[in-house]
A and B are shown apart, each in its own frame.
Chain A
Amino acid sequence: MLMKILILEDDFTLSKEIVTFFTSKSFECTPYYDGSLLLKKYKANDYDLIILDINVPGLNGIEVCKAIRELDKKTPIIMLTAFSEIEDKLTSFEYGADDYLVKPFHFEELFARVSSLLRRKEIPQQVKEKNSIQDLEIFETEMKVFRSGVEIKLTPKEFKLLLTLANANGKVLSKQFIADKLWDYHIETNQNTIEVYINFLRKKIDKDHPVKLIHTKIGYGYYLKDSE
């Protein structure tokens, strides 16, 4: 079945090029040039994805987005705009947009974002994965960590480190292994840096609790276990 995309873009050339591009990628495109006209015709669940330019005649993109969200909560919306300000980004997200792309953009990037939104729509939300060691609970999908029921704020890197240790089920992980897990091949790091991150994690996870979970195997690496 063809994927259907609704496009709101007042610039004729640009609109035509977007349509050409998505048609070549086997999408079915419906272009609109006016925000209020679009809303009049809009029915929920007619389209798989909506691309909205912010600065258009009639109703602007943000208002259109707001109105669509009243009818339809699910269809992914990508905003296109010449504003690169963070404030605009915030307002679009507040009104229910799913993504945001600043003009001038590359089709490749637009396509990548469209695909990712469509994929997210297709795949139902993963079942919550919970990983727990003693009173430490790690929720992988939500990226949340609790110890004794109290939430601990971790940075993404710290979370990834904790998760790596937790997934090893108590096995000792070498510093090199951890480094490779935390950073891709673009970043090379030394063992000190891993120690620094382990210390960050210890401060947040173990410091205020009598039972220490993060252990060091001297000269080799680290492991996560409820006892020695």
Chain B
Amino acid sequence: MTLKNRISLLVSLLFTALFGLASAFIFILYSNFRKQEFNDRLEIKALSTIKLLASVKNEDYKIMRLIDKNSINQLYDEKTLIFDADFNLIYSSIDDSKINWSVADLKFLKKNKTFFKKQGNNEFYGVFFDTNAKDYYVLITANDSYGKRKLVYLEYILIISYVLFTALCWILTSFTVKKVMQPLGSFHQKIKNINENNLDTRIQVKSNKNEIDLIANEFNFMMDRIELSYQKQKEFTAHASHELRTPLSRITSQIENKIAQKEIDSESKTFLNTILTDVNQLTELINSLLILSKLDNKKYENKETYRLDEILFTAIEKLNKTFPDFVILFEMEENEKLDTALEIRGNRKLLEIAISNILKNACVYSDNKQAKVKISCEGQNLIIAVSNTGKTLDEKEQKSLFQPFMRGENANGTVGFGLGLRIVQRILTLHKAKIVYSVPNENTNLFQLLFHF
């Protein structure tokens, strides 16, 4: 679970629980308050009835009933019973609603003075009056419909607001947390896309000093250091390869001059030629390393437009100087968009290096000194397909094909360092193009260069 989801879930759950508790607390307190209030009212009623009874002469209960009926203390569904000390009913109010009582209740009253209990829908209050003259037991029952209605209303309010505000809280929390965490998300997206070609990526930091900005700041400092050390490493390679060139040219020139001398014997000549071949290889390696170290997005902006077929022909021409008996079977597939597709914005020299590396590979690994080159259009891609027959690569080797210094099983006995394809891939990436290797038929190597137009 992401931090974002966890935080919103936690906050929402916490709110749900706390609001639920608060609602229950309010409900219980109010319900107790209502009970207490009604109890008080019943008590007042009982008291006033007893006072009335004491003041009424001749035990004229009719008047009393009348007063009772018109009393402002009238309660809903009310019934009052008054007993004397011997548990005889001496007064009963006019209502016909039933009141369930027992002698045990009266005995309980004598002992405890008062009780309050629930009987069906009604509340039931009993009190024992110990006056100077007489003892009275009063049982009074009534239905607190107003109080109950208020309670029910409160319950509705609480439930509805609980549901409503909890839902609102879930939505708002998730929204707010998402908003607060959003810089972290974009941070993540940016970091994800960092590779050796865009080490200059930095995170935008806003002025407010929250934790994310602090981390972003530190991250930017870290990227500075990484970029610097990467740059240093590249510069080192560039300088080293560069410095090696002068001694190499010294060696080459001396050997070449020596070989050209007439008085030299054939054995020494062969020996010198072997050394010269090695020096040439070393030169190629240094050139490759130099190209790799200098390949940089910023340096080679794709400014000018070139025709890929012309670059291909130049590459073939140069290749033929090194491999004079090599033949290219060239083919172009007719397509409406071909002429625009062939136009590419980029660095001519680099593209030439890329294409000639692919051709060189086809040459070196070909078993019949032939390679097929086919230019075609497919969708929005211009495809240059270079294929040759010969030993192919297995799946494991294909995966590491574009890694530096990778050489396949089929490279046994051939000259090279395994940098060529790495260079091709880097150059094509700069031109937003791709290279794909496949084995379409047994014994056939196929490289497809895909240029998007």
Chain A residues close to B by CB (< 8 Å)? 11, 13-14, 17-18, 20-21, 24, 82-86, 102-108, 155-157, 183-190, 192-193, 195-197, 199-200, 203
Contacts and interface: CB of A to CB of B under 8 A. Distances in A.
B330 A14 contact: no
Contacts of B66: none
Contact of B313 (A82, A107, A157): A157
A185 B370 CA distance: 12
Interface residues of B, number: 39
A21 B334 contact: no
Interface string B143-159: 00000000000000000
A189 B310 contact: no
Given A21-B256, A157-B313, A196-B334, A11 B250 contact: yes
B334 A82 contact: no
Contacts of A21: 253, 256-257, 260
8 contacts: A13-B250, A13-B253, A17-B250, A84-B290, A85-B294, A184-B320, A196-B334, A196-B338
Contacts of A157: 309-310, 313
Interface of B: 242, 245-246, 248-254, 256-257, 260, 279, 283, 287, 290-291, 294, 307, 309-310, 313, 316-317, 320, 326-334, 338-339, 347, 349
B309 A155 contact: yes
B253 A18 contact: yes
Nearest to A199: B334
Nearest to B261: A24
Given A82-B242, A84-B287, A105-B249, A17 B257 contact: yes
B253 A107 contact: yes
Given A14-B249, A21-B257, A186-B328, 6 more contacts: A17-B256, A21-B253, A82-B242, A82-B246, A82-B249, A193-B332
B350 to A, nearest CB: 9
A11 B383 CA distance: 47
Of the candidates B279, B310, B326, B339, the one having the most CB atoms from chain A within 10 angstroms of its own CB is B339
Of the candidates A11, A108, A203, the one having the most CB atoms from chain B within 10 angstroms of its own CB is A11
Contacts of A20: 257
A46 to B, nearest CB: 25
Nearest to B326: A186
Contacts of B331: 189-190, 192-193
A102 B251 CA distance: 15
A192 B290 CA distance: 40
The 6 closest A-B pairs by CB, nearest first: A104-B249, A17-B253, A82-B245, A104-B248, A103-B249, A193-B332
B335 to A, nearest CB: 8
B310 A156 contact: yes
Contacts of A155: 307, 309-310
Contacts of A185: 327
B319 to A, nearest CB: 8
A105 B256 CA distance: 11
B257 A195 contact: no
Contacts of A104: 245, 248-249, 251-253, 279, 283
A158 B209 CA distance: 63
Contacts of B283: 104
Contacts of A102: 245
Contact of A187 (B246, B316, B338): B316
Contact of B254 (A17, A106, A192, A196): A17
A192 B333 contact: yes
A11 B309 CA distance: 41
Contacts of B316: 186-187
A38 B107 CA distance: 138
A106 B252 contact: yes
B256 A187 contact: no
Of the candidates A13, A107, A187, A189, the one having the most CB atoms from chain B within 10 angstroms of its own CB is A187
Given A20-B257, A155-B307, A86 B347 contact: yes
Contacts of B320: 184, 186
A128 B320 CA distance: 31
Nearest to B329: A188
Contacts of A156: 310, 313
A24 B291 CA distance: 35
B330 A183 contact: yes
A178 to B, nearest CB: 14
Given A21-B257, A156-B310, A188 B249 contact: no
Contacts of B330: 183, 187-189, 193
B183 to A, nearest CB: 40
A185 B248 CA distance: 34
Of the candidates A24, A86, A104, A105, the one having the most CB atoms from chain B within 10 angstroms of its own CB is A104
Nearest to A18: B253
Nearest to B373: A187
Given A14-B250, A105-B249, A188 B310 contact: no
B101 to A, nearest CB: 113
B169 to A, nearest CB: 63
B244 to A, nearest CB: 9
Nearest to B321: A109
B359 to A, nearest CB: 11
A42 B245 CA distance: 29
Contacts of B246: 11, 14, 82, 103
A187 B254 contact: no
A199 B339 CA distance: 9
A17 B330 CA distance: 42
A201 to B, nearest CB: 10
A86 B310 contact: no
B245 A189 contact: no
A43 to B, nearest CB: 28
Contacts of A14: 246, 249-250, 253
Contacts of A83: 242
B260 to A, nearest CB: 6
A193 B254 CA distance: 47
A146 B5 CA distance: 69
Contacts of B252: 104-106
